[in-house]
Amino acid sequence: MKSQRQHSISGGFTIVEMMVSLVIVGVLVLITLTALHRAKEQAIRTSSANNLRILGVAVADYLGEHNSRFFPYRSNSQKGGVQWWFGREPKGSGGEGSRDIHTDEGPLGKYIKAAGGVDLCPGMGKYMDLRKAKFKGASFGYGYNVHIGGGWSGRGPRLNLAKTKFGSGEIAVFATCAQVNTFQGAATPENPMVEEFYGFDKSDKTIHFRFNRKALVLFANGSVQMVDPEEGTMDDTLESADVGRFSPVGSTKWLGIVR
């Protein structure tokens, strides 16, 4: 009489049991990796939101010493060159991609330092393969509402927070920003690239939805909100750049201006 065959491995698990065990282990690994990925994304968003809160403290301190009037987007520096809101670019700075920037010499420089300092938004990391540099180093990864800072030239009227009809929670001051560039340096129409950008307005597509198609916005009351893109406003020149708008083109939503 023949002995009964045992479909087992070394007297241990049967083949079916082993396969089931491998499937269970695979599922557990997938769940763990997904949880780790979500935790990492949450940490990146939290770090970026903290950057914006520090900028909010710096803005409040600046306004307290300047009669509640916002700083210009740009101006001529007394030391020579251009004083952008995020730092001073010396006169005779290098060409595109190698321009100098001193981030401690912008209008918020001393206030940012006193508030604890701001690092480059970690959410920019996943776009490094698409990145085109403007300066030798990066600034912060955030853009300023140019309508409260005198426009792109910085020479127009600047908003006085104490005199505006809008509540401070209705005025966006900073947001995660970037631009799709097709015309400078290595960027061409055939090779569009992402570069950090420094402002937003009612017309351009410069809000960066770098957190799973969501952007972070700092309001004048110090609050930070996560916002969705306005439908139909994403820059399709480079869809993977995740650049667009939080309101329709021409909208004055959150800009602190009257139509």
Looking at residue 235, its pLDDT comes to: 98
Residue whose pair of structure tokens reads 């508030």 in the numeric block: 115
Looking at residue 97, its pLDDT comes to: 76
Cα radius of gyration (the chain) = 25
Looking at residue 1, its pLDDT comes to: 45
pLDDT beneath 70: ranges in the chain: 1-13, 35-39, 137-138, 258-259
Q: pLDDT tens, 184-217? A: 888 999 999 999 999 999 999 999 999 999 999 9
Q: What is the pTM of this model?
A: 0.84
Q: pLDDT tens, 31-41? A: 777 766 666 78
Q: Please report the DSSP string for 120-156 in residue order.
A: PPGGGGGGGGGB--SBSS---SEEEEGGGBTTTTS-S
Residue 241 carries which DSSP code?
Answer: G
Alpha carbon 78 to chain centroid, angstroms: 30
Looking at residue 62, its pLDDT comes to: 98
